Amino acid sequence: MPNSQPSLASRLTPGAGLHSARVAWRHSLRFRLALMYSLSALVITAVIGLGITSYLLGQMNRQFDARLSERADAVAERFGSKEQDIGQGLPPISGYTAILDNDGRVLGVSTSLKSDTRQKFRLGDPFPYPQHGSFTVLDVPMRATTRPAPDYGTVWVALPETDLVVAQTSATRALLLSLLVAPLLLLLLGWLVGQRMLAGLGEAADLADRIDPSRSLATLPLPEREDEVHRLLAAINRLLVRIEAGQLREKQLLGQIVHELGAPLTVLKATLSRAGERTNDPEVQKAALVADELTFTTQDLMQLARGQLEMKLVWHYIPAVTLRDRLDRLVPGVTFSGDWSGGILCDPDRLTQALRNLLANARRHAGLDGSVSCTLAETPEWLTFTVRDSGPGLPPELGERIFDPFVSGAGSSGLGLSVSRQIAVMHGGNLTGGNHLDAGGQVAGAEFVLTVPGAALGEDEDDEVLEDVEPVGV
């Protein structure tokens, strides 16, 4: 493990987009915060607005009542004596005025009140309008009050409420408009402000999505302002440091275990192989195969402990038939087909390890009586190895997880497929898996396709490339 800390850019997965994932607006923290503050503002605005509106309307009513009372007092003072005529010397205030006797009958009305053609005011008739409260004259809202007149009985005075009703209606509409517009404006403002305030958290999430745990765990950049986002990212960074330290300890422990097992297994494998050749004992030969299986498992564990970045390929140009002979010795009973007459530019040990893992896995699933085949197809760009078996096929619920370390559908270590894909990717190719179907459309077994770049060379590139390639097994 290098002592120097890799840069942030070197720890990110190549080709990953900056905005790799987006949250739906209705699920985003920004929208929930804006909505919460908008609803809170709506409640506060409603309570304060209702209070202010109620106060203003109350003040308007009190002012109108005061004005009406002043009018009534002025009229009562003017007609406190019979010497004054009802149509003379009234204060210059609009409104209706009437003089009533003690029984509520009409003694006289003002000229403005006589304009109501629906009423005929004759002396001695009962007064048609209420002496207190609100009513309508000619579709105009009015409010009336009375004052005692010793020589007559009662002075009745009414004023129009038109201005008061208009003011009350305007205040109510303004309140309703504020309750509708204010939350929408606050929601929009909260969304825009939240976008700005949470931008650092969103960028940190994008960077976190691009970190490749298989290479290294990069700490996230911290914002300059030490707010809650800074505190969250700092806690994530401390967690990443602890995770990376734990992974390092696990790899070191795994490497030590594999190292301790490697030498005894190599000796055991060689001893059992020689014993099997001398005695032809099936049990000894079976034990030799088990030792061989354990040897490859330790190789897979060693590769897992070292990690992909620390592995180096040793390139050689070998005949394809040499690779086939190696695989035939390691996994007996495999049917090889296709064109094996060409050459392969690869790391022979690593490619053998990858294909051997696929064939051994296929044999394990197909059983001793099942069939396992390996087909090689070549194009100018790619070499394609197709491994098929007659087993039950891949579990559909695993999907791509079948290539994760320690994931297995058959009780094995679960390292073979992961290592094989890693080797294929290091060669510039890939490994995919699935199921092949029989003529009836039923699953007939598992199928793995491993591809590596072909070894076709252009005329201008032959000399330059072959200088770095060592032929093996020719």
Per residue of the chain (474 residues), what is the pLDDT tens digit?
333 434 333 344 433 443 444 556 666 677 777 778 778 877 887 888 788 888 888 888 888 888 888 888 888 877 765 555 444 544 554 578 888 888 888 888 887 777 665 677 778 888 888 888 888 877 788 888 888 887 778 888 888 888 888 888 888 888 888 878 877 887 787 777 777 777 767 777 776 776 666 566 667 777 777 777 778 778 888 888 888 888 778 777 777 777 777 778 778 878 887 887 788 887 877 777 677 767 767 766 776 666 544 567 889 999 999 999 989 888 888 999 999 999 999 999 889 889 998 998 898 888 878 899 999 999 989 999 999 999 888 888 777 878 877 665 554 556 778 888 989 999 999 999 989 888 888 888 999 999 999 875 444 444 444 444 444 443
- The type of residue at 318 is I
User: Is the same domain home to 233 and 318?
Assistant: no
- Residue 302 domain flag: yes
User: Is the same domain home to 295 and 354?
Assistant: no
- The type of residue at 296 is F
- Residue 392 domain flag: yes
The residue range of the domain holding 254 is 222-311
Contact 153, 100 (CB under 8 A): yes
Q: What CA–CA distance (Å, rounded) separates 160 from 75?
A: 16
Last residue of some domain: 276, 311, 346?
A: 311
User: Is the same domain home to 410 and 459?
Assistant: yes
CATH number, domain with residue 266: 1.10.287.130
Last residue of some domain: 291, 311, 331?
A: 311
User: Is the same domain home to 249 and 296?
Assistant: yes
Q: What CA–CA distance (Å, rounded) separates 142 from 198?
A: 58
User: Is the same domain home to 325 and 295?
Assistant: no
Q: What CA–CA distance (Å, rounded) separates 344 from 322?
A: 10
Q: Cα separations (Å) of 424 from 73, 200, 212, 363, 420?
A: 106, 38, 19, 20, 6
- Residue 305 domain flag: yes
User: Is the same domain home to 293 and 358?
Assistant: no
15 torsion bin: left (phi>0), alpha (psi -120 to 50), beta (else) = left
Q: Which 3 state secondary structure label does DSSP give 368?
A: coil
- Taking the alpha carbons at both ends of the chain, their separation in whole angstroms is 37
Contact 304, 419 (CB under 8 A): yes
Label residues 51-82 b or e (16+ Cβ within 10 Å = b): eebeeeeeebeeebeeebeebbebbbebbbee
Q: Which 3 state secondary structure label does DSSP give 344?
A: strand
Residue found under tokens 């030490």: 226
Q: What CA–CA distance (Å, rounded) separates 2 from 368?
A: 46
User: Is the same domain home to 413 and 319?
Assistant: yes
Contact 344, 452 (CB under 8 A): yes
Contact 201, 232 (CB under 8 A): yes
Q: What CA–CA distance (Å, rounded) separates 65 from 77?
A: 18
User: Is the same domain home to 269 and 334?
Assistant: no
Contact 144, 131 (CB under 8 A): yes
Please give the radius of gyration of the chain, using alpha carbons only, rounded to the nearest integer: 48
User: Is the same domain home to 301 and 338?
Assistant: no
In the chain, the number of structural domains is: 2
- Residue 230 domain flag: yes
Last residue of some domain: 311, 341, 370?
A: 311
- pLDDT at position 304 is 64
Q: What CA–CA distance (Å, rounded) separates 456 from 469?
A: 13
Task: Supply the pTM of this predicted model.
Answer: 0.46
CATH number, domain with residue 349: 3.30.565.10
User: Is the same domain home to 328 and 457?
Assistant: yes
